[in-house]
Amino acid sequence: MAMNVAVKPGSAPKRVTILGSTGSIGTSTIDLILRNPEAFEVEALTGNKNVKLLAEQALKLKPQLVVAADQAQYAELKQALAGTNIAVAAGPEAVVEAAMRPSDLVMSAIVGAAGLAATLAAVRRGTSVALANKESLVCAGDLMTEAVKRHNATLLPVDSEHNAIFQCFEADRRKSIEKLILTASGGPFRTRKREELRDVTPAQAVAHPNWSMGAKISIDSATMMNKGLEVIEASHLFAMTEDRIDVIVHPQSIIHSMVAYEDGSVLAQLGSPDMRTPIAYTLAWPHRMPAPSARLDLAKIATLSFEPPDEVRFPALRLARQALKDGGTAPTVLNASNEVAVYSFLAGKVGYLDMTGVVEETLTAMPPVPMTSLEQLAAVDGEARSIAERRVQVLGRGR
């Protein structure tokens, strides 16, 4: 008999809801659940437009509810699951309702600020939330961490860097922690000169050297905005100020991040670059479970190298650090304008170098104000998107 390793021996299976089940993180999560079927039951799945995959997942996992965020997919999803007793719904509110249903763990793996409402709904249930959707923490950091405290929820970081730090972070010794050290692969353009970046195509930019990921985070990795978002994410997850979060480029992506202590000790978590390791950690927490990620062969890898990040070639990191220092709504503006810039680049409307330009100009146009409510945040997010869109149109005409 297979051992029920992902939950306490003898206890019932963990009930899991997966938001963004059809994405890169979502499908890796399902892969792990299918390999450990005794340990988990799926409460709800949500996707957006890929109804075929969503229905396929539902037939395998037999959740209570399946939701397509895109309202237009309702009929097709309903049809695909006809004859089953799986409930079907569509639209953004239904995604939030999926997060509100009772479960032991919510995997938050929607991409972008679109994941905020459902992630917050899960947090307000006081449950464990495995957080991959870093943009929700970037755009609403203080509101989110307040809600986590108030509702006694647990955030389990899925992002490999934050998962590594979570594993090395001795919470009861947090006063002895000097720094968090986030590693960065440097992305596909690590060794290119800035002028060589002008004409890179979306296809070149999404081709990450170490990780296979969704399109948006792949572009963020190519500009290093991903690392900027992660500095902000780390500041909220671990209550650390900007000056105590270092970034080091480590092209092999073997050390996933580190925690430096006052006695000079530096603790690191290592592994092959496969998201199933940090996802398994969050699924099994506070226990561990097996994951099929390739085992490290350090003799074969032979060399781990490090270099400082170059904020001249990759200005996104500097913009994100500044937004974190400025505080208030600055990270909300950074995130919203970056989403517009990334999707405009993917659609061929602007060039690679234009992306950080769009973000910088939007930040300049919208000086930060203190963050007070979700309604205000939604308005700021919307305004930042329209300013960024206008800038994209101007740049597009010049191309």
Q: Which residues are at the interface with ligand NAD (CB under 6 A)?
A: 20-26, 47-48, 50, 69, 95, 109-111, 114, 132-135, 159, 211, 213-214, 216-217, 275
Q: Which is nearer to ligand NAD, 86 or 95 (CB)?
A: 95
Among the listed ranges 30-38, 160-168, 179-187, 300-308, the one in contact with Mg ion (CB under 5 A) is: 160-168
Cβ at position 386, least distance to ligand NAD in Å: 18
What pairing do the DSSP bridges indicate for beta strands 105-108 and 128-131?
parallel
Residue with CB nearest ligand NAD? 23
Closer CB to Mg ion, 212 or 372, in the complex? 212
Of the candidate spans 81-89, 156-164, 282-290, 362-370, the one that interacts with Mg ion by CB under 5 A turns out to be: 156-164
Three-state secondary structure of the chain: CCCCCCCCCCCCCEEEEEECCCCHHHHHHHHHHHHCCCCEEEEEEEECCCHHHHHHHHHHHCCCEEEECCHHHHHHHHHHCCCCCCEEEECHHHHHHHHHCCCCEEEECCCCHHHHHHHHHHHHCCCEEEECCHHHHHHHHHHHHHHHHHCCCEEEECCHHHHHHHHHCCHHHHHHEEEEEEEECCCCCCCCCHHHHCCCCHHHHHCCCCCCCCHHHHHHHHHCHHHHHHHHHHHHHCCCCHHHEEEEECCCCCEEEEEEECCCCEEEEECCCCCHHHHHHHHHCCCCCCCCCCCCCHHHHCCCCCECCCCCCCCHHHHHHHHHHHCCCHHHHHHHHHHHHHHHHHCCCCCCCHHHHHHHHHHHHCCCCCCCCHHHHHHHHHHHHHHHHHHHHHHHHCC
- C-beta neighbour count of 52 within 10 angstroms: 14
Residue nearest to Mg ion (CB): 159
Least Cβ distance, residue 50 to ligand NAD (angstroms): 6
Q: Does 159 bind Mg ion (CB under 5 A)?
A: yes
Q: Which is nearer to ligand NAD, 117 or 284 (CB)?
A: 117
Considering beta carbons, is residue 14 or 276 the nearer one to ligand NAD? 276
Q: Closest distance between ligand NAD and the C-beta of residue 361, in Å?
A: 23
Q: Which region among 61-69, 161-169, 231-239, 260-268 touches Mg ion (by CB under 5 A)?
A: 161-169
Q: How far apart are CA 380 and CA 398, in angstroms?
A: 28
- 345 and 205 in contact (C-beta within 8 Å)? yes
Window 113-152: contact mask with Mg ion (x via CB under 5 A): ----------------------------------------
Nearer to ligand NAD, 7 or 139 (CB): 139
The answer to whether the CB of 167 falls within 8 A of the CB of 258 is no
Q: 47: buried, middle or exposed (CB in 10 Å: 19+, 13-18, 0-12)?
A: buried
Considering beta carbons, is residue 178 or 385 the nearer one to ligand NAD?
385
Question: Which of 69/259 has CB closer to Mg ion?
Answer: 259
What's the closest the beta carbon of residue 159 comes to Mg ion, in angstroms?
A: 4
- Give the residue with the Cβ less far from ligand NAD, 162 or 321: 162
Strand partners, 67: 46, 89
Least distance between ligand NAD and beta carbon 217 (Å): 4
Which of ligand NAD, Mg ion, none sits in contact with 121, Cβ below 5 to 8 A by type?
Answer: none
- Smallest gap, in angstroms, from Cβ of residue 118 to ligand NAD? 8
Among ligand NAD, Mg ion, none, partner that 133 touches (CB below 5 to 8 angstroms by kind): ligand NAD
**At closest approach, how far in Å is the CB of 131 from ligand NAD?**
9
CB of 269 to Mg ion, least distance (A): 13
Using CB under 5 A as the binding criterion, the count of chain residues that bind Mg ion stands at 3
Q: Which is nearer to Mg ion, 160 or 223 (CB)?
A: 160
Q: Shortest distance, CB of residue 198 to ligand NAD, whole angstroms? A: 26
Residue 94 touches which of ligand NAD, Mg ion, none (Cβ within 5-8 Å per kind): none
Query: Would you say 256 and 180 are in contact if contact means Cβ atoms under 8 Å apart?
Result: no
Question: Which residues contribute to the site for Mg ion (CB under 5 A)?
Answer: 159-161
